[in-house]
């Protein structure tokens, strides 16, 4: 969903960046005058307008995982190199190694289509808290509350979609205390226009990732195409470049000290509201699990990639995605410790406890909140659920072969519904696409190395009572010999070979 993250430098030399984050509909009411004082020259209507072209129309949700901006009247998107990395990799081969050499379309006819890649534009948003919570009462159980809220959200989304013209989502904020409706228009024909060589676009590699200052030419370029009438459409040779409602003009004048700066984009989710017990779990179970298992998966994957260029290209995007998470969590742990976040959370919880103790009404409503959190996290910690989940998820899903059995499990569930032929084909289509995508970039030797390394590391780091049931088979039939087990799996399994 769309949020504005505004990093502003004031007019005074010593002014610190504001670093706030706001939803677009609140800019005029909460921040506009302050932003003007800092040097903003746009009107509030030019930033966000429902009825007229505004800055929001130049900012795109790229693929549902990145932000991009329209920089030409013909729908040209500028985004990060790492955001376009999977698309660049998908078009690369030994003969046309665009990852290594870069790619530039010399004409629109040379721009490359990317199945499944979307460009999503923000249409409007609205506060729907009252509508979502209209039938919620304090007497409801959590399950009852959740059911009522989901039904209300679904009703609002269906109405806002205007029979499929738009994509609508209702999102909860502040742990379900506020709800906002976001309406988007999704374009499905997005073509690769250009990307620098990885020596520029990925300069510094994993070493520089998540580090500042950076020296990376981290950009790539795409273009949005539409049906001839300007509406969203699947890829077709008949499609034409989008006529952009608004685009950002790229200035070559440079910048001056204390110039106003603002970032508008699509951030991910945040864990900033975690309690002290959540921070403790993150530092002592979740992040260490990601660190340990990520290192295993990455080292084995890199070993396979070093064998030849075909495997290197095949696994480049997968490797980058896992390495990104792995590096992020290492830095997150350092930051949490350096900034003493656990201690600060304890102070906040202490202040909350004092506030609750002020009167009987607060005590009745919120008196057990902190104890409930502590008990819940204690249960999670004792069972090691989060650590086990991350070990298994990062470990087993680093091995592509293990995505396939889950797809067959989904197939079994769909077949049990006894659908009509057309409904069945529609339900199975995404499963078939997933399976085809896995095997399109699949090297058995590399997968075997990853799987063997993961099984050995899981056995090393998890208590016996938390190990998956597969270890019973390894112990009984193979006398605990993981290498012997994986040898047979990759010789005989219909999924792995």
Give the whole-angstrom CA distance, residue 119 versus residue 226: 11
Sorting pLDDT into bands at 50, 70 and 90, what band is 407? confident
Look up the pTM and report it.
0.83
Residue 14's pLDDT band (boundaries 50, 70, 90)? very low
Q: Is pLDDT above 90 for 83? A: yes
Q: 5 pLDDT band (50/70/90 cuts)?
A: very low
Which three-class secondary structure state does DSSP give residue 469? coil
Dist. CA 407–CA 413, nearest whole Å:
10
Task: List pLDDT tens digits, range 321-350.
Answer: 999 999 999 999 999 999 999 999 999 999
Label residue 19 by pLDDT band (50, 70, 90).
Answer: low
**Does 13 score more than 50 pLDDT?**
no
pLDDT in tens, 231-256: 999 999 999 999 999 999 988 998 88
For residue range 69-82, what is the model confidence (pLDDT) as tens digits? 999 999 999 999 99
Whether the predicted pLDDT of 7 surpasses 50: no
Mean pLDDT of the chain: 89
Give me 367's structure tokens.
Answer: 């008196």
Distances (CA, A) of 115 to 65, 89, 277: 15, 13, 43
The Cα 437–Cα 116 span in angstroms is 11
Highest mean pLDDT pick, 98-107, 170-179, 323-332, 403-412: 98-107
- For the chain, helix (H) and strand (E) counts, in that order, are 20, 14
Enumerate the domain spans of the chain. Answer: 3-118+188-265, 119-187, 276-492
In SS3 terms, 177-212 reads as CEEEEEEEEEECEEEEEEECCHHHHCCCHHHHCCCC
pLDDT at position 189, please?
98
Average pLDDT over residues 463-472: 86
Contacts of 9 (CB under 8 A, 6+ apart): 15, 17, 38, 39, 258, 259, 260, 261
Residue 485: the pLDDT is: 94
- Top pLDDT among 48 and 8 is at 48
Q: According to the per-residue pLDDT averaged within each range, which of 23-32, 130-139, 377-386, 456-465 is highest?
A: 130-139
Supply the DSSP symbol for 285.
I
The closest of 258, 299, 275, 320 to 92, measured between CA atoms, is 320
């Amino acid at each position: 969903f769309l949020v504005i993250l505004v990093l502003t430098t004031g007019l005074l030399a010593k002014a610190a960046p504001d670093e706030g984050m706001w939803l677009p509909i609140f800019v005029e009411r909460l921040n506009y005058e302050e932003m003007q004082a800092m040097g903003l020259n746009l009107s509030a209507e030019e930033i966000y307008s429902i009825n007229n072209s505004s800055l929001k129309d130049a900012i795109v949700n790229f693929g549902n995982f990145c932000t991009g901006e329209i920089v030409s009247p013909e729908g040209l998107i500028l985004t990060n190199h790492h955001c376009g990395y999977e698309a660049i990799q998908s078009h690369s081969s030994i003969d046309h190694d665009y990852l290594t050499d870069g790619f530039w379309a010399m004409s629109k006819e040379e721009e490359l289509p990317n199945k499944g890649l979307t460009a999503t534009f923000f249409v409007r948003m609205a506060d729907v808290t009252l509508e979502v919570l209209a039938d919620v009462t304090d007497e409801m159980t959590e399950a009852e509350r959740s059911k009522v809220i989901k039904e209300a959200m679904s009703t609002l989304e269906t109405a806002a979609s205007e029979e499929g013209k738009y994509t609508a989502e209702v999102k909860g904020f502040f742990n379900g205390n506020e709800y906002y409706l976001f309406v988007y228009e999704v374009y499905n024909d997005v073509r690769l226009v250009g990307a620098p060589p990885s020596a520029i676009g990925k300069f510094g590699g994993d070493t520089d990732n998540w580090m500042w200052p950076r020296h990376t030419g981290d950009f790539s370029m795409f273009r949005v195409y539409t049906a001839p009438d300007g509406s969203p459409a699947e890829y077709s040779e008949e499609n034409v470049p989008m006529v952009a409602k608004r685009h950002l003009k790229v200035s070559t004048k440079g910048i001056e000290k204390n110039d106003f700066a603002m970032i508008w984009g699509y951030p991910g989710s945040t864990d900033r509201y975690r309690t002290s017990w959540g921070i403790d779990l993150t530092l002592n179970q979740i992040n260490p699990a990601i660190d340990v298992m990520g290192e295993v998966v990455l080292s084995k994957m890199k070993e396979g990639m070093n064998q030849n260029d075909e495997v290197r290209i095949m696994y480049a995007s997968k490797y980058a995605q896992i390495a990104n998470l792995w590096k992020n969590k290492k830095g997150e742990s350092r930051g949490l410790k350096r900034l003493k976040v656990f201690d600060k959370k304890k102070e906040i919880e202490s202040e909350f406890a004092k506030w609750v103790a002020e009167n009987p009404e607060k005590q009745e409503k919120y008196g057990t909140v902190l104890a409930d959190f502590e008990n819940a996290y204690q249960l999670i910690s004792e069972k090691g659920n989060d650590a086990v989940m991350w070990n298994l998820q990062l470990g087993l899903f680093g091995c592509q072969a293990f995505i396939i059995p889950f797809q067959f499990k989904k197939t079994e569930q769909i077949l049990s519904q006894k659908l009509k032929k057309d409904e069945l084909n529609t339900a199975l289509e995404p499963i078939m696409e997933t399976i085809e995508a896995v095997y399109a970039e699949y090297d058995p030797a590399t997968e075997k190395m990853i799987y063997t390394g993961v099984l050995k590391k899981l056995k090393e780091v998890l208590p016996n009572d938390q190990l998956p049931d597969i270890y019973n088979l390894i112990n009984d039939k193979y006398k605990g010999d993981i290498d012997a087990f994986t040898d047979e799996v990759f010789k005989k399994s219909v999924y792995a070979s």
